[in-house]
């Protein structure tokens, strides 16, 4: 007997396109990862996946997380020559329903469902505020993503944002000097200018200039490798990155009223989990002056699950089915 499926779920970024099926027991099955650049369009990738997994059959619904803002059911990818709309996917595949959602919004939906082994607590694991309170998810990679999750008895509502483009606020003289250099280079300095792959490298270069040293690292990957190997300049850049991440996470927790927790995701932080846990991240998270008592009760955790946007898309699929 052939398996029955609730629908197709996906997580599509500038590099990889991941797809899976959700069966009638709410299990995610048949995960496959594609190199997006090898395909002319998203429909080509989905065609390949469905032919591989289902033959001529089609699932009734689809929820696909995408890296970027979704406007009126459409997205134009930054790093791919793809433009995708829910209407085009409905017409091409004859789904009953299709939803595109921001990838960090999908991750926000996933966080309440993650198992303990999928999370690394950073600092005290205090559950003040209860499980029905808002949460916030943030993370650095190619850019900096932010999403919130409003929780209620009828279900959870993910709130996609462009919070990574909010302005960066330095907290000490070193960060003021970093801000000055980035302002001269870029103009306006957003959070993403520091908390991203390029941002990590820019922090490294700025610290080398401030210390009158010639940095040997040529890119952010080299900074991470050198820091892990004990290089002092690279280590200082990584520690500063972690500290700034803590300040930003605390600000976002205040902005969202995220008593349910602040979850750190993205491509960079999980690669330096131990350093992040030992850094000033939590101290900077809590350093909010008159509101320090508020954030001290908010748990923070690093997301270790490799495919949180797939899990979040599956959860959105479940919520669609109940409507």
| Look-up of token digits 């996917």 | 89
| Residue 107 domain-assigned (yes or no) | no
Same domain, 240 and 277: yes
| Residue 291 domain-assigned (yes or no) | yes
- In terms of phi and psi (left: phi > 0; alpha: psi -120 to 50; beta: otherwise), the region of 291 is alpha
| Residue 92 domain-assigned (yes or no) | yes
Same domain, 41 and 137: no
Q: How many helices (H) and strands (E) does the chain have?
A: 11, 13
Same domain, 50 and 172: no
Q: Total structural domains in the chain?
A: 2
Q: Residues within the annotated binding site?
A: 10-15
| Residue 15 domain-assigned (yes or no) | yes
| Residue 110 domain-assigned (yes or no) | no
Q: Residues within the annotated binding site for ATP?
A: 10-15
Contact 224, 238 (CB under 8 A): yes
DSSP state of 71: B
Structure token digits, residue 238: 């990584």
Predicted TM-score (pTM) of this structure: 0.91
Same domain, 224 and 285: yes
pLDDT for 77 equals: 83
| Residue 74 domain-assigned (yes or no) | yes
Which of 265, 273, 234, 268 has the alpha carbon at shortest distance from 249? 265
Structure token digits, residue 270: 């999980």
pLDDT for 150 equals: 95
Same domain, 277 and 223: yes
Same domain, 297 and 222: yes
Tell me the pLDDT of the chain (323 aa) as tens digits.
466 899 999 999 878 999 999 998 889 999 999 999 899 999 999 999 999 999 989 999 999 999 888 999 999 887 788 999 999 999 999 999 999 999 999 999 999 999 999 999 998 765 544 568 999 999 999 889 999 999 988 788 999 999 999 999 999 999 999 999 999 999 999 999 999 999 999 999 999 999 999 889 999 999 999 999 999 999 999 999 999 999 999 999 999 999 999 999 998 999 999 999 999 999 999 999 999 999 999 999 999 999 999 999 999 998 887 76
| Residue 196 domain-assigned (yes or no) | yes
Same domain, 254 and 314: no
Q: What angle do CA 200, 206, 209 make, to 5 degrees?
A: 145
CA distance 238 to 201: 9
Same domain, 147 and 259: yes
Same domain, 318 and 297: no
Same domain, 14 and 122: no
Distance of CA 53 to the CA centre of its chain: 28
> Which residues constitute the domain of residue 138?
115-304
Q: Is the dihedral of CA 107, 222, 15, 55 positive or negative?
A: negative
**SS3 for 47?**
helix
Q: What angle do CA 268, 270, 273 make, to 5 degrees?
A: 115
For the domain that residue 88 is a member of, what is the CATH number?
3.30.420.40
pLDDT for 321 equals: 73
Same domain, 191 and 284: yes
pLDDT for 43 equals: 95
| Residue 152 domain-assigned (yes or no) | yes
Other C-beta atoms lying within 10 Å of the C-beta of residue 294: 17
Same domain, 50 and 126: no
For residue 163, the surrounding DSSP H or E stretch is none
For the domain that residue 295 is a member of, what is the CATH number?
3.40.367.20
């Amino acid at each position: 007997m052939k398996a029955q499926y609730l629908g197709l779920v996906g997580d599509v970024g500038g590099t990889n396109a991941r797809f899976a099926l959700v069966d009638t027991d709410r299990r995610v099955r048949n995960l496959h990862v594609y190199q997006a650049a090898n395909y002319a369009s998203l429909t080509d990738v989905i065609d390949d996946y469905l032919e591989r997994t289902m033959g001529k059959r089609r699932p009734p619904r689809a929820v696909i997380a995408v890296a970027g803002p979704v406007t009126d059911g459409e997205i134009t990818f930054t790093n791919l020559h793809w433009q995708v709309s829910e209407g085009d996917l409905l017409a091409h595949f004859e789904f009953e329903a299709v939803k595109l959602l921001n990838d960090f919004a999908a991750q926000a939906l996933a966080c309440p469902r993650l198992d303990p082994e999928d999370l690394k607590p950073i600092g005290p694991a205090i559950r003040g505020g209860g499980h029905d309170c808002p949460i916030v998810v943030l993370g650095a990679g190619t850019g900096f993503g932010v999403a919130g999750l409003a929780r209620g008895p009828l279900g959870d509502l993910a709130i996609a944002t462009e919070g990574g483009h909010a302005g960066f606020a330095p907290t000490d003289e070193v960060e003021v000097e970093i801000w000055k250099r980035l302002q001269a280079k870029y103009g306006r300095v957003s959070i993403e200018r520091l908390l991203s792959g390029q941002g990590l490298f820019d922090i490294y270069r700025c610290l080398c200039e401030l210390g009158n040293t010639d940095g040997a690292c040529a890119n952010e990957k080299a900074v991470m490798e050198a820091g892990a190997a004990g290089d002092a300049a690279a280590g200082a850049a990584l520690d500063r990155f972690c500290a700034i991440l803590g300040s930003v996470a605390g600000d976002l927790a205040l902005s969202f009223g995220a008593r349910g927790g602040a979850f750190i995701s993205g491509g960079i932080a999980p690669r330096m989990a131990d350093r992040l846990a030992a850094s000033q991240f939590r101290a900077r998270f809590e350093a909010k002056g008159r509101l320090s008592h508020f954030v001290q009760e908010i748990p923070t955790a690093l997301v270790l699950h490799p495919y949180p946007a797939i899990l979040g898309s599956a959860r959105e699929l479940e919520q669609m089915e109940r409507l």
